[in-house]
């Protein structure tokens, strides 16, 4: 069936049908959650050269910005349900704001001590970002598909806005990196406003009331007459804690035993998520960030055949084009859905092979063709990200959904961590290969 022409009555009717039932406050809140949670990550990567100087590998900043987030996503799903969402938001805002202030106020010296202090600030911001991602993805469980779509679009917008804002502040407006980073440290306040002012609390209150009724019923029964079901011992209790912040039984040996059973149940659920959801997301991020960090710096052409005056402009242009692709695809959930997640993941691996081969053998004739491939790379990466969590929304049982959304988020950070280590060696190897074969562009940046 052909798509209706933009502007036609059929097009407007279809657009109205797509967004029917969307709550503007929910969409606005989750878009801002995605933007603010991810934008500091992008700003920190954009400022990597200013943070560590030209003599320290920029992969150090990438790893400091990703590894704490990865560990948070790996460990937190098994206990974070005990912390109510409003307390989590306060913790995330405090961590990210403190981290940015530490980065900004540390003297801009390139000695080991100054760099170490700045990396500590990066780690604090990374902890906030990792905990925020798994929490906000879990929160979409209470608000539905439009919340997830808005979150995905906000995270895509973070790439464009973060990189663009840092460039405008430091280059166009000539504001020092220190003052720019200090100004950005106030951005997490928007997250507070989004949660406490914009986001409707009705779905959370309804869930809290439902679980309060469950608590009252459970309290009327003797322990001997209750046999906890799989639904109640694991994720349902996780949802209870995350909404109301209350425990449903006294702390005794039976509670500890039940908690251990719930932990084992969550481990089984995590194993069940690996092949259908975690692995394709992991693959796409390994390929994507290996391209961005390890291959893209070597995708260089003679300046005479490019629109640039210096070689360092290639990398920033590739990054901007990639971010545009990510933003478009992460905003596409209401219109496009991918159900077979491995297919685009393998296409991303094919992009890695293609661009690596070009870096070695120089067979793509035009810089603009490489830009198209980079844009396609961004589209694939964003599409797999939002489609993975949309599939979980559709296919995972309701009582498992909140945990599953949070637990699966470990895959993107895990993929970035692996790619961070791989790309540091990959870039050096590809540059050496090019120099040995008479192309010294990577040494002139």
What digits encode the pLDDT tens for the residues 19-48? Answer: 566 789 999 999 999 999 999 999 998 888
Give yes or no for a contact between 126 and 3, defined as CB atoms under 8 angstroms apart.
no
Position with higher pLDDT, 5 vs 266: 266
Other Cβ atoms less than 10 A from the Cβ of 160: the count is 17
375 inside domain: yes
419 inside domain: yes
109 inside domain: yes
- Cα torsion at 60, 64, 70, 75 (round to 10°)? 140
Q: For the chain, how long is the longest CA-to-CA vector?
A: 82
365 inside domain: yes
Q: 105, 108, 24, 85: which is closest to 208 by C-alpha?
A: 85
The Cα 422–Cα 410 span in angstroms is 18
pLDDT tens digits for 112-124?
889 999 999 999 9
For 90, the token pair is: 């306060």
For 355, the token pair is: 């661009």
217 inside domain: no
247 inside domain: no
Give yes or no for a contact between 121 and 102, defined as CB atoms under 8 angstroms apart.
yes
Q: Map 158-224 to HEC letters.
A: HHHHHHHHHHHHHHHCCCCHHHHHHHHCCCHHHHHHHHHHHCCCHHHHHHHHHHHHHHHHHHCCCHH
For 424, the token pair is: 């540091």
pLDDT band (50, 70, 90) for residue 230: very low
CATH of the domain at 109: 1.20.1250.20
398 inside domain: yes
The Cα 167–Cα 337 span in angstroms is 33
pLDDT band (50, 70, 90) for residue 240: very low
Query: Could you give the number of structural domains in the chain?
Result: 1
pLDDT band (50, 70, 90) for residue 237: very low
Q: 402, 400, 152, 170: which is closest to 272 by C-alpha?
A: 400
Task: With H, G, I as helix, E, B as strand and everything else as coil, classify residue 72.
Answer: helix
Say what the pTM is.
0.80
Domain with 101, as residue range(s), is 23-201+263-443
90 inside domain: yes
pLDDT band (50, 70, 90) for residue 81: confident
């Amino acid at each position: 069936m052909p798509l209706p022409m933009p502007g036609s009555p059929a097009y407007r009717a279809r657009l109205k049908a797509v967004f029917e039932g969307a709550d503007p406050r929910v969409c606005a809140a989750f878009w801002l959650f995605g933007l603010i949670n991810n934008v500091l990550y992008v700003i920190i990567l954009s400022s990597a050269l200013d943070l560590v100087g030209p003599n320290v590998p920029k992969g150090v900043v990438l790893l400091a910005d990703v590894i704490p987030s990865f560990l948070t996503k790996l460990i937190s799903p098994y206990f974070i349900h005990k912390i109510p969402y409003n307390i989590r938001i306060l913790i995330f805002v405090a961590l990210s704001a403190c981290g940015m202030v530490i980065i900004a106020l540390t003297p801009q010296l390139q000695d080991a001590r100054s760099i170490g202090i700045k990396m500590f600030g990066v780690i604090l911001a990374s902890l906030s970002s990792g905990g925020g991602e798994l929490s906000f993805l879990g929160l979409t469980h209470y608000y539905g598909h439009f919340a997830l779509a808005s979150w995905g679009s906000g995270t895509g917008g973070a790439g464009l806005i973060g990189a663009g804002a840092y460039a405008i502040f430091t280059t166009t407006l000539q504001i020092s990196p220190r003052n720019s980073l200090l100004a950005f440290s106030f951005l997490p306040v928007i997250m507070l406003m989004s949660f406490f002012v914009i986001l409707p609390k009705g779905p959370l209150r309804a869930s809290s009331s439902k679980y309060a009724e469950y608590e009252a019923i459970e309290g009327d029964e003797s322990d001997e007459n209750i046999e906890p079901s799989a639904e109640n011992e694991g994720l349902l209790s996780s949802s209870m804690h995350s909404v109301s912040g209350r425990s449903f039984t006294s702390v005794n040996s039976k509670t500890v035993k039940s908690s251990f059973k719930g932990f084992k149940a969550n481990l089984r659920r995590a194993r069940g998520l690996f092949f259908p959801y975690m692995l394709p997301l992991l693959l796409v991020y390994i390929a994507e960030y290996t391209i961005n960090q390890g291959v893209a710096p070597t995708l260089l052409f003679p300046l005479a055949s490019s629109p640039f005056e210096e070689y360092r402009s290639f990398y920033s242009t590739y990054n901007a084009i990639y971010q545009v692709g990510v933003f478009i695809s992460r905003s596409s959930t209401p219109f496009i859905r991918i159900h077979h997640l491995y297919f685009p993941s393998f296409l991303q691996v094919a992009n890695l092979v293609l661009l690596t081969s070009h870096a070695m053998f120089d067979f793509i004739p035009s810089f603009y063709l490489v830009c198209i491939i980079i844009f396609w790379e961004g589209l694939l990466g964003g599409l797999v990200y939002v489609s993975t969590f949309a599939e979980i929304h559709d296919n995972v049982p309701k009582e498992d959904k909140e945990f599953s959304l949070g637990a699966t988020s470990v895959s993107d950070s895990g993929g970035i961590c692996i790619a961070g280590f791989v790309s540091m060696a990959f870039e050096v190897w590809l540059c050496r290969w090019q120099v040995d074969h008479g192309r010294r562009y990577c040494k002139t940046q």
